[in-house]
């Protein structure tokens, strides 16, 4: 009897130990599931945060770079672009092309021809406007000047700079000067070549196409042969 009782006791202990082991194993699996679930949730949250951050960064870049980027070109034709922008193409008789060291009173504003300083203003973006007579001399050499009225918002000036830097004939800033108008013009923004100009009473996004088309016609288009003294 003693032997049978001992055997039953041994089997009971083994069964209880097996149950405790199974319970412990299940508990470990539950804990592991909780840990893995937490890791997975953390990973998902990290991905979401990175995606949102990347989106925010992209938006920040766009907000910083956006104002500096000129609106994309939509209209190539000069007449159509000028009309869409509410601007006007002006053609004038030449006022002469003599050299002088004196201040000149020009008949057009901004000036588009006439006597000028012996030194010509060079291509580029001017933090301060060049001498009027020197900028007129640049027109004689086939340059285009783009001028904005005093008080123009900085983001618009930045957009003009990026537009001026666009390539014409494979060269950025080709034959172009950009500066604040120095003749108190009534136009908000204007582009001039020798005996021609585009004047815009309002500075809107469509102005950029008008200026692109004007520069192309003046430097490599139908007016190129009318340049009095072309200089490469």
Same domain, 176 and 83: yes
For residue 85, pLDDT over 90 is answered with yes
Task: Tell me what pLDDT residue 68 has.
Answer: 85
Beta carbons of 89 and 195 less than 8 angstroms apart: no
Same domain, 52 and 110: no
Closest CA to 102 of 113, 115, 111, 121: 115
Task: Tell me what pLDDT residue 39 has.
Answer: 41
pLDDT confidence band for 4 (50 / 70 / 90): low
Beta carbons of 172 and 124 less than 8 angstroms apart: no
Higher-pLDDT residue of 85 and 63 is 85
| Lowest-confidence segment of 18-27, 46-55, 95-104, 170-179 by average pLDDT | 46-55
Same domain, 83 and 193: yes
Same domain, 63 and 161: no
Same domain, 90 and 181: yes
Cα(98)–Cα(197) distance, rounded to whole angstroms? 20
Cα(230)–Cα(225) distance, rounded to whole angstroms? 9
Task: Tell me what pLDDT residue 134 has.
Answer: 98
Same domain, 21 and 117: no
Beta carbons of 90 and 201 less than 8 angstroms apart: no
Tell me the H-state helices in the chain.
Answer: 2-65, 78-85, 132-140, 154-164, 207-219
Task: Tell me what pLDDT residue 153 has.
Answer: 97
Which residue range(s) make up the domain with 37? 2-67
* Angle in degrees, 0-180, between the axes of helices 207-219 and 154-164, rounded to the nearest 10: 30
Same domain, 199 and 160: yes
Residue 232 lies in a domain: no
Cα(217)–Cα(210) distance, rounded to whole angstroms? 11
Closest CA to 30 of 46, 45, 22: 22
pLDDT 10s digits, 132-147: 999 999 999 999 999 9
Most confident of 12-16, 62-66, 160-164: 160-164
pLDDT confidence band for 23 (50 / 70 / 90): low
Beta carbons of 117 and 133 less than 8 angstroms apart: yes
For residue 36, pLDDT over 70 is answered with no
Task: Tell me what pLDDT residue 179 has.
Answer: 98
Helices (H) and strands (E) in the chain, counts: 5, 8
Same domain, 95 and 159: yes
Residues 6+ apart with CB under 8 A from 159: 67, 68, 69, 70, 71, 208
Same domain, 121 and 201: yes
Same domain, 62 and 79: no
Same domain, 151 and 218: yes
For residue 65, pLDDT over 60 is answered with no
pTM of the model: 0.72
The neighbour count for residue 191, using CB atoms within 10 Å, is 28
Q: Give the mean pLDDT of 157-184.
A: 97
Where does a domain end: 15, 49, 67? 67
């Amino acid at each position: 009897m003693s032997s049978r009782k001992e055997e039953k006791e041994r089997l009971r202990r083994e069964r209880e130990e097996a149950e405790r082991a199974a319970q412990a194993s299940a508990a470990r699996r539950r804990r592991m599931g909780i840990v893995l679930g937490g890791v997975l949730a953390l990973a998902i949250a990290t991905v979401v945060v990175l995606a949102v951050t990347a989106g925010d960064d992209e938006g920040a870049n766009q907000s910083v770079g956006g104002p500096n980027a000129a609106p994309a070109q939509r209209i190539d034709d000069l007449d159509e672009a000028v009309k869409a922008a509410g601007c006007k193409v002006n053609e004038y008789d030449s006022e002469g092309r003599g050299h002088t060291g004196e201040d000149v009173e020009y008949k057009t504003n901004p000036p588009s021809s006439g006597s000028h300083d012996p030194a010509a203003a060079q291509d580029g973006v001017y933090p301060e406007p060049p001498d009027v007579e020197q900028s007129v001399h640049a027109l004689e050499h086939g340059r285009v000047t783009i001028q904005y009225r005093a008080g123009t918002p900085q983001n618009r000036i930045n957009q003009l700079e990026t537009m001026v830097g666009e390539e014409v004939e494979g060269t950025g800033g080709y034959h172009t000067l950009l500066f604040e108008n120095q003749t108190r013009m009534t136009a908000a923004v204007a582009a001039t070549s020798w005996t021609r100009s585009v004047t815009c009473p309002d500075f809107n996004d469509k102005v950029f196409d008008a200026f692109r088309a004007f520069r192309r016609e003046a430097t490599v288009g139908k007016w190129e042969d009318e340049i009095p003294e072309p200089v490469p």
